[in-house]
């Protein structure tokens, strides 16, 4: 039998080419397994989210889908061989720096994105640009392993609430709204995080990319269908929430439909996904055209077979470079001093505020592993303010000052209805604090919170994280803090805000407290 070859190309000997591909595949697998071992916190964090959140259960299917997408491009294996290129490993150096910054500021999603990007770079170095480009989609699909998008929840809640309010007005149903709280004659509804539609949005995007890869060759059709996969779930979730409230109004009972609204949601979005598939099929490319290789992307070319040792060298050197970040983190934690905050007193509060024993509001922030924390109640002129202070040792590499799981209030007891910011004066300096209104347990609370890092008061978690980076590389030894104060808003919000201003003025300036009384 004579093996035909294209003009100007060298025929690849099947046994030798297969040996190179087996070695390359093994190296890519070793790189993936090695990164899982080097970055266990990122991997374990992702798996915990997949297991614990219905918004990310689909992530368990991402690797099988990526393998299937790679199999659908098996013509690459038939027509070329990997060509390792160690020069690409230089891209790992800025990625190591990015991981260090992400780890310091505790942005787990960014850490996970960086780890996946490190895998992309090592795979690129092992396979070479030509093969990696031909396999680009299955490799990039692995980014869906990262449980991203949670930051969209407040925006999705607001969009869903707006959609419901406007829809109820059009239907002629009396409605009163306070942020994400919606009241109709049949009862009160809250557009909670579970109702925001994130679970459907993220799964729809992952499905949309997979469907587009199977059905379209045209980049324009790719973009159109993926855009539909983003827009349709958001609009559909608005209709779902509107339908639940409208049904409750028709039945004159919120409880009749509220208990199973998540199940109703999954049924509704299954129907929406089927509809999305029918829409996508209406402008799908010809199957034979989709299955054909991209022009020039995987054509056979004259290239020497790689040495197995060069393939493994690319994988091993890549893993060593990727591990430099965690190694530096271990070194800094070992080098950093450990402060003993066990005997630190809470920050003093001047008169007329006097401490009281009771937790009047049943309120407490949910904060992860502070080195020391205080929760106290104070009374003045018949009004109560609660103060929460969490202290964190700032030396070393890791601390828990800013964590995604932290919350200003327990979400099972308190529902956030509004958020914003306020300008204040603390310790003779102008500062900004975050403001949140919560409803629950038969009352409303106004909560102010802020961070104190490196002698500065900052309101946002991101600003606190950036200050942490500066503190780490500046080798400061100050203690950082998270502070929240809360009061009842039964009278009015303006009076409650004034009360918190007075309490904040009576507190010892946190910068001085951290520098003196809480200094290790």
DSSP string, 152-220: GHHHHHHHHHHHHHHHHHHTT---EEETTEEEETTEEEE--GGGSSHHHHHHHHHHHHHHHHHH---HH
350/313 same-domain check: no
Of the candidates 202, 171, 199, 166, the residue with the CA atom closest to the CA atom of residue 182: 166
Domain match, 305 and 443 both = no
d(Cα 71, Cα 138) in Å, to the nearest integer?
9
Domain finish residue from 333, 364, 391: 333
Are residue 329 and residue 380 in the same domain, yes or no? Answer: no
Per-residue pLDDT, 300: 44
C-alpha 16/C-alpha 14 separation (Å) is: 6
User: What are the Cα distances from residue 516, in Å, to 232, 347, 373, 508, 520?
Assistant: 56, 11, 17, 11, 9
Task: Please indicate, yes or no, if residue 242 is contained in any of the structural domains.
Answer: no
| Residues forming a β-bridge with 482 | 390, 451
73: containing domain: 14-147+294-333
Q: Which residue is listed with tokens 């407040």?
A: 154
| Beta carbons of 59 and 48 less than 8 angstroms apart | no
Q: Which two tokens stand for residue 305?
A: 């077979």
Is 111 among the domain residues? yes
Q: What is the pLDDT of residue 396?
A: 57
* 415 DSSP β-pair partners: 439
pLDDT at 473: 64
User: Which pLDDT value is given to residue 104?
Assistant: 76
Same domain, 366 and 419: yes
Q: Is residue 44 part of a domain?
A: yes
| Spans of the chain, pLDDT less than 50 | 1-12, 259, 288-290, 294-301, 520
3-state class percentages of the chain: helix first, strand second, coil last, to nearest 5: 55, 15, 30
Q: 33 CB contacts (<8 Å, ≥6 apart)?
A: none
pLDDT of residue 5: 44
Q: What is the DSSP letter of 304?
A: P
Does one domain contain both 29 and 89? yes
Q: Are residues 346 and 440 in the same domain?
A: yes
In a domain, 29, yes or no: yes
- Are 321 and 440 in a shared domain? no
32 and 116 inside one domain: yes
CA distance 427 to 359: 27
Asked if 358 and 478 sit in the same domain, the reply is yes
**Do the domain assignments include residue 260?**
no
In a domain, 186, yes or no: no
What does the alpha-carbon distance between residue 70 and residue 266 come to, in Å, rounded to a whole number? 30
- 466: Cβ contacts below 8 Å, ≥ 6 apart: 105
Please indicate, yes or no, if residue 449 is contained in any of the structural domains: yes
* pLDDT given for residue 491 in this prediction: 60
Contact (CB, 8 A) for 20 and 90: no
Q: Of all helices (H) and strands (E), which one includes residue 511?
A: helix 510-515
**CA–CA distance, 433 with 448 (Å, rounded to integer):** 6
What's the pLDDT at 288? 47
287 domain residue, yes or no? no
What sections of 252-356 are H helices per DSSP? 255-258, 261-282, 287-291, 308-322, 324-335
**Is cis: bond before 81, omega within 30 of 0?**
no
Examine the fold and report which residue of 318, 333, 348 is the final residue of a domain before the chain moves on. 333
In terms of pTM, does the model score above 0.75? no
Q: Using the 8-state DSSP alphabet, how is residue 407 labeled?
A: B
Those residues with Cβ within 8 angstroms of residue 450's Cβ, 6 or more apart along the chain or in another chain: 431, 432, 433, 434, 457, 458, 459, 482, 483
What pLDDT sits at residue 120? Answer: 96
Rg (CA), the chain: 28
> 225: which 2 tokens?
């269908």
**How many domains, the chain?**
2
pLDDT value of position 336: 58
Q: Do 488 and 382 fall into the same domain? A: yes
The answer on 344 and 323 residing in a single domain is: no
Report the distance separating Cα 197 and Cα 152, nearest Å. 10
Residue 33: is it exposed, middle or buried by C-beta count within 10 angstroms (0-12/13-18/19+)?
exposed
């Amino acid at each position: 039998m004579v093996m035909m070859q294209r003009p100007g190309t060298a025929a690849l000997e099947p046994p030798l080419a297969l040996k190179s591909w087996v070695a390359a595949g093994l190296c890519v697998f070793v790189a993936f397994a090695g990164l899982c071992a080097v970055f266990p916190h990122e991997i374990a964090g992702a798996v915990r989210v997949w297991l614990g959140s219905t918004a990310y259960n689909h992530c368990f299917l991402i690797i099988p889908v990526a393998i299937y997408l790679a199999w659908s491009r098996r013509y690459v294996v038939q027509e070329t061989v990997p060509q390792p290129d160690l020069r690409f490993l230089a891209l790992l150096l800025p990625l190591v720096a990015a991981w260090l910054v992400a780890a310091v500021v505790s942005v787990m999603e960014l850490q996970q994105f960086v780890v996946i990007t490190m895998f992309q770079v090592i795979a690129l170095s092992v396979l070479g640009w030509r093969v990696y480009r031909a396999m680009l989609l299955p490799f990039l699909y692995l980014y869906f392993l990262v449980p991203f998008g949670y930051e969209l929840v407040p925006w999705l809640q607001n969009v869903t609430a707006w959609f419901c309010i406007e829809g109820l007005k059009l239907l002629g149903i009396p409605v009163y709204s306070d942020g994400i709280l919606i009241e109709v004659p049949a009862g009160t509804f809250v557009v909670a995080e579970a109702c925001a539609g994130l679970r459907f949005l993220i799964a729809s995007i992952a499905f949309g990319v997979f469907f587009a890869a199977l059905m379209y060759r045209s980049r324009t059709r790719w973009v159109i269908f993926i855009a539909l996969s983003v827009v349709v779930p958001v609009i559909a979730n608005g209709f779902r929430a509107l339908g639940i409230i409208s049904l409750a109004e028709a039945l004159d009972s919120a409880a009749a439909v509220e208990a199973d609204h998540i199940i109703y949601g999954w049924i509704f979005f299954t129907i929406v996904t089927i509809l999305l598939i029918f829409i996508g099929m209406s402008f799908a490319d010809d199957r034979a055209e989709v299955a054909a290789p991209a022009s020039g992307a995987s054509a056979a070319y004259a290239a020497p077979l790689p040495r197995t040792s060069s393939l493994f060298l690319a994988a091993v050197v890549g893993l060593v470079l990727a591990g430099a970040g965690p190694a530096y983190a271990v070194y800094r934690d070992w080098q950093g001093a450990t402060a003993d905050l066990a005997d630190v007193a809470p920050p003093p509060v001047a008169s007329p505020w006097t401490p009281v024993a009771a937790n009047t509001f049943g309120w407490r922030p949910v904060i992860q592993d502070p080195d020391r924390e205080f929760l106290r109640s104070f009374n003045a002129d018949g009004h109560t303010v609660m103060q929460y202070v969490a202290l964190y040792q700032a030396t070393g590499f890791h601390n828990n000052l800013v964590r995604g799981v932290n919350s200003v209030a327990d979400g099972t007891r308190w529902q956030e209805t509004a958020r914003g910011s306020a300008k204040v004066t603390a310790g003779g300096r102008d500062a900004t604090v975050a403001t949140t209104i919560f409803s629950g347990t038969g009352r409303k609370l106004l909560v102010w919170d802020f961070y104190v890092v490196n002698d500065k008061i900052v309101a946002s978690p991101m600003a606190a994280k950036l200050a942490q980076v500066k503190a780490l590389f500046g080798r400061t030894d100050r203690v950082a803090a998270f502070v929240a104060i809360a009061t009842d808003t039964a009278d009015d919000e303006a009076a409650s805000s004034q009360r918190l201003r007075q309490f904040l003025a009576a507190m010892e300036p946190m910068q001085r407290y951290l520098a003196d009384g809480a200094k290790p």
